[in-house]
Structure 1
Amino acid sequence: MKTTLKFSLYVWILFIPFLSACGQSGSSYKTESTADYAATEEATMATFVNQQDGTEGGTSNEPIVQGLHVIKTGNMQIQVQDLDKAKEIVLQKVKANKGFTSAANYNDYSYQKTQNITIRVASSNFENLMKELANIGFVENQSQNSQDVSEEFVDIEARLKTKKEVENRYTQLLKDAKTISEILEIEDKLRVIREEIEAKEGRLRYLKDQVSLSTINLTLTQKLENYSKPPERSFFSRLFENMGEGWDDFLMFVVGVMRLWVFWIVLAGIIFIIAKWRKARRK
């Protein structure tokens, strides 16, 4: 009897680790695949930030120096004597500074002609081109704006790296998926994370374009010498004109009232019926 009990105890002790291993292997994928990808992303992001700060594992304490990313924009309005000649000079100066025009708009009014030009130029040549354009004519208005997007630039790059790491983890989980429900669940999470990656990459491309190429909004204006303002009218001429307009408004009012003749007939009939009913009631 004792021998039998000892043998059963030994078998049970040897069998417990095997059951534990089977249970863990059967539940490990389910736990990983159903975890919310947002929590996974936050955990990966925290790891990335710690690595950047040199706080994880104590491997690095050196500060990270990020580049300066600035978007430069200039606005300039210049009055010139000859608009066509000034436009040619602008194009020459833009070409000399390795820039290009991305948009142009021409307007011809009775008193002046205007040419709006949108110029894109390398940020290193931005200030030099602004100075050269100022010599074309009389500068009526000029302004410059610099927007530092370094923080957003670094934040997007960090989040992109995090999201791509999460994408790789889900891709690996997809390879190990066994059931249809698990495959569909992981594919849905992959679709969401990939859309977010594409949005971040698009924003990053836009920022890089704006930083590398500055924008100058230039307006050239030519006053027309043969333009003469219409003479001012006298008090009596404006008075008689307004009286005529008042008479026209009165006629329009009469016409509008007559257009509602059906309404007036119906209203008169209703009033007549009510008056007759009240008279009969008094009797």
Structure 2
Amino acid sequence: MKWGKRILAVWLAAALALAGCSAAADKSSSSLSNESGAAADLNLTVKDKMEATQTSQQSEAKGSSNAAPASQPTAQSGAGSQDSGVGEQQGAGFSGMGTDQEGLNRKLVYKANLTMKVKSYAEAQAEIRNLVTLSGGYILQFSENSTSREEGGNFVLKIPSAGFSTFLKELEKIPNEAIQRNVQAQDFSEEYVDLEAQLKAKQVVEARYLEFMQKATRTDELVQYTNELAKIQEAIEKMKGRMRYIDQNVAFSTVEIRLYQPGSSLDISKSDSVFGRSRDAMLSSLGFLVGFGQGLLVFIAGFIPIAAVGLVIGVPLWIGYRRNREKRIARAEEYTRNMQAYRGSLPPKNDPFPTVEPEEDEDSPDKTT
């Protein structure tokens, strides 16, 4: 019995020892698995960090103005993710993008259309010109029309965008009977951001081609680089021109104004009488005579140079013609005299048909006895 108890105790001790060894093995295997998982997580974090860095470099090379501010906070948060984890990295990235959107410089072009019915067109026009001068703007286009029904004009103005709202408020203070206003804006922000990104990318390519040209050793390579560089520089200049155009339109807003005064020129009642109509007819006749005299003077003034040239050329020709004509007449007269003298010197010829004179009648009453 004692030996049996001892053997049972030995078996229990061996079982407990085996159980302790298996627990230690499990602990070691779990620790090894934890260490391997931590190593994998560490490798994943480093890989993510490298990918974020490469993405940031590519974004900077492309020159994207809206992606670069977002990638920089992401890369910075990735560098500190060994202590804070992936969740903090993503949160930092979104916060950086939100800050970039809030600080985006908007490119808005404002345009206003106003139609004003005023009491005095002359005073309103002078007031508008004064407001344009005070605001620092300028008149881009102006046209004026006056009929029997109304007198008015059209303005196209360029006003600095900083004083655009103030200028519109001052326009409303001009004495008027009715006013219509329409204000609209056009957003060029997206196009401007794209142009900036494309410009930066083109400038990077331009710098690379300049380096290639400096390192080129063959003529064909140099010619190829020169042609490609010319195309890139042309594209860069087009982008810069478009950006300057947008900046100028953003800096100055456009204001179109139609100003009119109805019935301002209907002052015909004073000329309804007979005296008024007679006076108008006389003034019309005088105006016609004055216009005819002016036209005649203009014609004479224009004809004088032609007449002077004609005299210089025509007078010598006329004198030469007269002299030649006199000479021809003198030669003809001399020839006639010579022919008459020649005929007189010839003997008379027998006339085959003699002229018979009629006999006188003795019984004629005209004959005197």
Q: Shorter-chain TM-score: what band?
A: 0.5 to 0.7
Equivalent pairs counted in the alignment come to 188
Cα distance in 2 for partners of 1:193, 1:43 equals 19
User: How far, CA to CA, are the matches of 2:115 and 2:186 in structure 1?
Assistant: 21
Q: Which amino acid aligns with 2:75?
A: G
> For residue 54 of structure 1, what is the amino acid of its counterpart?
S
Give the structure with higher Rg (CA): 2
Q: Report what 2:213 is aligned to.
A: 174
Deviation per CA, 1:174-201: give whole Å up to 9, x if none: 1111222111111111111111111111
Aligned pairs for 1:24-43 (under 5 A) are none
Any conservation in 2 of the 1:48–1:162 contact (CA below 8 Å)?
Answer: no
Question: Structure 1 stretch 79-88 or stretch 182-191: which is displaced more?
Answer: 79-88
**1:121-270 paired onto structure 2 within 5 Å:** 121-136=159-174, 137-225=176-264, 227=266
C-alpha displacement at 1:211, in angstroms?
1.1
One-letter amino acid matched to 2:263: L
Contact persistence 1:120–1:214 (CA under 8 A): yes
The alpha-carbon deviation at position 85 of structure 1 amounts to: 1.7
CA 46–93 in structure 1, closer or farther in 2 if over 3 Å, else same = closer
Residues of 2 paired with 1:53 and 1:73: CA distance? Answer: 34
Rounded Cα–Cα distance in structure 2 between residues aligned with 1:213 and 1:46: 28
- For residues 123 and 47 of structure 1, do their structure 2 counterparts lie closer, same or farther at Cα, with a shift above 3 Å needed? closer
Structure-2 change in CA distance of 1:96 and 1:225 (3 Å): closer
Identity over aligned residues, as a percent? 25
Residue 136 (structure 2) pairs with residue 98 (structure 1): yes
Return 5+ residue gaps in structure 1 as ranges. 1-40, 229-283
Conserved 8 A contact 2:141-2:156: yes
Q: Tell me the alpha carbon deviations over residues 85-116 of structure 1, each in whole angstroms, 9 at most, x when there is no partner.
A: 21110111222223222221222334222211
Residues 1:138 and 1:187: Cα distance change in structure 2 (over 3 Å): farther
Give me the whole-angstrom Cα distance separating, in 1, the residues matched to 2:207 and 2:170. 51
- Distance in 2, matches of 1:49 and 1:81, equals 52
Q: Tell me the residue number matched to 1:5.
A: none
> One-letter code of the match for 2:191?
E
Deviation at 1:68, TM superposition (A): 2.0
Contact 1:50–1:56 under 8 Å retained in 2: no
AA paired with 1:89?
A: E
Match of 1:58 among 67, 72, 75: 75
Range with greater deviation from structure 2 (60-69 or 99-108): 60-69
**Are 2:152 and 2:258, in contact at CA under 8 Å, matched by a contact in 1?**
yes
CA-based RMSD of the aligned residues comes to 2.8
Question: CA deviation digits over 1:123-157, x for unaligned, max 9?
Answer: 12111211211232234431000122222222211
* Larger CA deviation: 54-63 vs 133-142: 54-63
Deviation at 1:218, TM superposition (A): 1.0
Q: Equivalents in 1 of 2:137, 2:232: separation in Å?
A: 37
Of residues 79-88 and 155-164 in structure 1, the stretch that sits farther from structure 2 once superposed is 79-88
* Deviations 1:226-280, CA, capped at 9 Å, x for gaps: 559xxxxxxxxxxxxxxxxxxxxxxxxxxxxxxxxxxxxxxxxxxxxxxxxxxxx
1:109 aligns with 2:147: yes
Aligned partner letter, 1:196: A
Q: Secondary structure at the match of 1:218?
A: strand
Equivalent in 143, 147, 157 of residue 119 of structure 1: 157
